[in-house]
Amino acid sequence: RWILHHFARLNRANCLILIGSTGTGKTSFALSLPGFVNYFKGRWNLDSWHDYARYSVYDDIPWDDFSSLNYPDKKGLLTQNGKLNSTDKYRRTVEINVRQPAIVLLNPEDTGSLTREPITVEEHQLAEYWKKRATVYIMGANEYFYQRPRHTTASNPNQSSSNSSTDNNEQRLGDPDEFAKAKHRWEAKQQQQQRE
């Protein structure tokens, strides 16, 4: 659903937050999408940011540690908020243009305040904000994006929705068939790997 309704948006797309165990193919899935990607793992690195990237992936960064790892404001960074000031260790402040949809990949133990029951007024406000601005998907115990032949899956890759969050006339990024083409290439690559 997120791919269909948010991946191609030019502004204010919900970020996709995938929560699942290590080895379930979250990173492979995220990096298989079409287009150039801003990929971040660990600390913020301003040199890895490209305004022209198609989308951004934040991998294995604990939800509550974005700020302590020097990332720019999480709300601005993950919600296509446009121009945002950013800095890096020993660097001057630079304006970046956050026009890409974001994908956050988390292990269950790293979700922190995202999945914890809010208590304070501030926690309730943050929970409401992310409820409106993020699509959170928690993977099941036997669910994988890619699995070796010895595993089984409980996922349903054929889910679809007719509720679009974009108007039919809204200008969109990319080719209308790019995801289907990328999926076809990815599936062919997976079949080739299984034969090897």
Burial class (CB in 10 A: 0-12, 13-18, 19+), 85: exposed
Band (19; pLDDT cuts 50, 70, 90): very high
Protein fold of 2-195: Rossmann fold (3.40.50)
Residue type for 133, please?
R
∠81-106-126 over CA atoms, to 5°? 50
Band (159; pLDDT cuts 50, 70, 90): very low
Q: Which is nearest to 149 in space by CA: 110, 104, 191?
A: 191
Per-residue model confidence as pLDDT tens digits over 71-123: 998 999 999 888 888 887 777 888 888 889 999 999 999 999 999 999 999 99
pLDDT score at 152: 42
pLDDT score at 173: 57
Q: Find the mean pLDDT for residues 124-143.
A: 91
Band (170; pLDDT cuts 50, 70, 90): low
User: Is the whole model's pTM more than 0.75, yes or no?
Assistant: no
Per-residue model confidence as pLDDT tens digits over 22-71: 888 899 999 999 899 999 998 899 889 999 999 999 999 999 999 999 89
* Comparison of pLDDT for 152 and 146, the residue scoring more: 146
Domain segments of the chain: what residues?
A: 2-195
Lowest mean pLDDT among 52-56, 109-113, 161-165, 174-178: 161-165
pLDDT score at 195: 78
